[in-house]
Structure 1
Amino acid sequence: MKKIINDPNQVVQDMVDGLIAANPDSLKQVPNTFVVARADAPVAGKVALVSGGGSGHEPAHAGYIGKGMLDAAVCGEVFTSPTPDQVLEGIKAVDSGNGVLLVIKNYTGDVLNFEMAAELAEAEGIQVEKVIVNDDVAVEDSSFTTGRRGIAGTVFVHKIAGAKADSGAKLEAVKAVANKVVTNVRSMGIALTPCTVPAAGKPSFTLEDHEMEIGMGIHGEPGIDRTSIASADEIATTLTEKVLEDFDFSGEVAVLVNGLGATPEMELYIMNKKLHEILSERGIKIYRTYVGEYMTSLEMAGCSVSLLKLDDELKELLDAESTAPAFRS
């Protein structure tokens, strides 16, 4: 295992310390937790947004903390859901009395632990609502989840629900627009290489040099097919057509071409070129395109494609100001 780390069992704490050191004026760590929050939290008069999950997907989720996005992110151990007590501390740290929305990726551990934390917070008089993101069209069930997995489309939920909350909207309205994004976003990815959890010290699965896994999950969950590696155009076509088959994207969309940790931006832009060609041929207008690493899987090589169908409300919120380190607009 080759990684730039110290103690494999301390990577989350070291990462959080480094993140805070890079953003001392905008981020803070809640004492005795792996919760990262806005430095000015709780923000008076505003619904708070809390997300999180296992570490190893950076910049998700702590990179999306800031004005117009999340108020806090709860960082679990690598590929491991944060515990309910940690999520509860995140909720309490950012609640201003206007309620808290939890944005949860659809993995069994995340759903159970965030829901338990919500119940504990409600017992303390905090109003909590939640949305569950399940944008991955590749598989219906996996080793980590019942139903579809939540992957990079979650970033659109953070951005749009965060902008709605920042506008002064009430909790139910923020939840409603978050659910609108969940309804209108679809994603799918491929992996070219495995990744290694630091504490494990070896890859969690194997892929031969000539192989790729279509529909691989962000924790290394199996996809729908393992094939010989294809060209960028073939990969883009496979992913995009699968996404387009699942939902009517006629009209305008936002596009996210997401790297999984070890894919050069050059290759992501090559993917994006073909994706734009496919959408243009279908008569689908592209309103915004985002290319880069938004939700990774440690050092996995590969990428995912996300499409979000837009209306006027979603376009306005997508364009709203954000100061989050990993999503400035």
Structure 2
Amino acid sequence: MHVPDGFIDAPISAATGVVAAAAVAVSLRGARRELDERTAPLAGLVAAFIFAVQMLNFPVAAGTSGHLLGGALAAILVGPYTGVLCVSVVLLMQGILFADGGLTALGVNITDMAVVTTVVAYAVFRGLVKVLPRRRSSITAASFVAAVLSVPAAAVAFTLIYAVGGTTDVAIGKVATAMIGVHVLIGIGEAAITALTVGAVVAVRPDLVYGARGLQQKLRLRVDGQLVDVPDAEKAPVAARSHRRVWIAGLVTSLVLAGFVSFYASANPDGLEKVAADKGIDAKTEEHATADSPLADYGVKDVENARLSGGLAGVIGVGVTVVAGTGVFWAVRRRRTADVSPASTSSV
């Protein structure tokens, strides 16, 4: 659903840019509360994984494909504020390095694909978790439903943005019907990927899943006719707990998906591209500012072998995204540490 340059006029592009900047600023502040010894090392990896999986377009209807948006997955794994930042980092890397999603439309894409999907998904997820039984399977089920709903929500958001700032005169009702219809189908694919990923992490390390915190209840024993909480066993410091295996496994998976599996992704246009072509909303599409980038269109310039070119581009993308994301999240984490340090709270 990457919106290219030329779909949305300059005033609305600027307005959504302001909205996106404000959302990122709020998320930077909110992420300080979410990023701890468990989530900080994994947030950059989540961004890289989303980048990798977004390269895997899957067929959803005749001549149409879809790909992960990632807002639901990021919000559940590392928290909603951090989730907005994860998807924003991915969109920034895609726009600058791979000419995917217009630079003038970056505000539109962050607002739609990062903010709307994350907010909707996490709100639905938290609401379901409160009413479902406190089991790991409930986390997976809630993840599925939240992801399903987040994608058509993004389609509605794009339609509203296009209704006020579209550059072509089209029947907006037809656009809305087509966008929502195809993105409901894409949402099912998004939900399957999200639920499988969240379920896999919850099965091995539920403590690393932000949305699963508080899942385990205290053990209670009956002593002299009364129920008492069993004291927690002495635990090693959280910082000493190794996340290395999970991090390495996630990175290797991302590299394999982007570097190898992506070659077999569907070549059909995604939901927005298909609707744009069918309804004529792409009439004023502009060439991307970085169309001559060495990595444009997810290929390495001057590498003639398509498989090798796409694989190298995917590996480079994962590497750049994990480095950029990790840098951002560690900086936010260090800022939080500085804010709560004794020196910062002592009187002068």
- State TM-score, norm by structure 2: 0.27
Q: Give the greater-gyration-radius structure (CA).
A: 2
Higher relative contact order (CA closer than 8 Å, sequence separation 6+)? 2
In proportion to residue count, which structure has more strand? 1
